[in-house]
Amino acid sequence: MATAAWRALRRHLAYCAAGCIRWPPGTGKGGQSRSGSGALAAIHTSHSSSPPGVGCGSLCDAAGAPARGEEPRGPRVLHRRQLRRGGSRRSRLQAGKVYEALDRPGWAPPAWLFGPVWTALYATIGIAAWLVWRHPDRDRVRTALIWWSLQLALNLVWTPLFFAARQYGLALLDIVLLLAALSMTIVRFRRLSLPAALLLVPYLLWVAFASALNASIWQLNT
């Protein structure tokens, strides 16, 4: 379950950003310790501008980055990585243009603010999951990470709905569901780790703010 959840996070981060995740020495793919402790990797972030909204951040796809101590995987892999990052940058630029062209309320933040905010939030999302994963009650951990994965999936869906399909009403429905799933995730995390639950509170507040912004943009542009 944890492996699938982390794969979802890595795919999501690859879609949204550029940066670097490296598994520390002594751990394998998915953060599973070779000694069986199940420790997850530390997350290293890098600043980049990214499109506003729920589905954007500036962390990288670990699948294309060599682990610490490994040799690079060759020019073909590097070329694919460059193409992926180039596409990500183009997507961010396009989303930024869409956002700037919309009628927005006076309290809407500038597009450049979303990148730094999501960089910090994705770090807290990953660390919170790691803290929960360490808990010995595997049944409750599994349930909590199911909710964590659900909110992450809803987070991922928002960006194409809002920026690509321009379906602001459906995007609002998605973000409201995200808000509910995230609230349940925090409740489940609280039963296993108070610090993990607290780490998700800024994320909850930001999603609530983004929900209000989505609703206002929908009203102003229909």
Sign, CA dihedral 188-189-190-192, equals positive
Residue 177 carries which side chain, given as an amino acid letter? L
Q: Please say whether the beta carbons of 38 and 133 come within 8 A.
A: yes
Q: Is the entire prediction scored with pTM above 0.75?
A: no
- C-alpha 104/C-alpha 168 separation (Å) is 13
Percentage of the residues of the chain whose pLDDT score is greater than 70: 58
Model confidence at 4, in pLDDT bands (50, 70, 90)?
A: low
Residue 160 pLDDT greater than 70, yes or no: yes
Grouping H, G, I as helix, E, B as strand and the rest as coil, residue 11 is helix
For the cut 70, the answer to whether the pLDDT of residue 122 exceeds it is yes
Number of other residues whose CB lies within 10 A of the CB of residue 7: 15
pLDDT tens figures, 73-117? 454 544 455 445 554 566 666 777 889 999 999 999 999 999 999
End-to-end CA distance of the chain: 41
Token pair in block for residue 221: 């542009």
pLDDT, tens digit (0-9, with 9 covering 90-100), for 30-70: 444 444 444 344 333 334 444 455 444 433 333 344 444 44
pLDDT at 201 over 80: yes
For residue 12, name the pLDDT band (cuts at 50, 70, 90).
low
